[in-house]
Amino acid sequence: MKKLTALLALLGLGGLAYYKYKMTPEEKEKLKEKLNSAKEDAESFAKNLKENVDQKLEQAKSELGNLKKNTEEASNDLLKEAEDMYN
C-alpha cells in the first residue's frame, strides 16, 4: 500500500512539473501570485492564531491569580474565625 501511495505521489509530482514546464509565462505568473497569496494568508492566520493563544493565556494567568488571591483570603478568614472560636 505504501509503495502504491508513493508511486501515485511521484506520478502526481511528475505531472505537475510537466504541466508547470509547459505553462505560458502569464499562467506561471498567475500561479506565482496564487501561491504568494496563499502564503500570505497562511502567515496571517498563524500570526492571528498566535496572538489569540497569547491573549487567552494571559487571561487564564490573570484568572488563576485572582482565584489564588481569593483562596488565600478565604483561608485567612477561616483561620481567624478558628482562632476566635478557640480563644
pLDDT bucket at 65, cuts 50 / 70 / 90 = very high
What does pTM read for this prediction?
0.55
User: pLDDT (tens digit, 9 = 90+) per residue, 7-16?
Assistant: 888 888 888 8
CA–CA separation, 43 and 53 (whole Å): 15
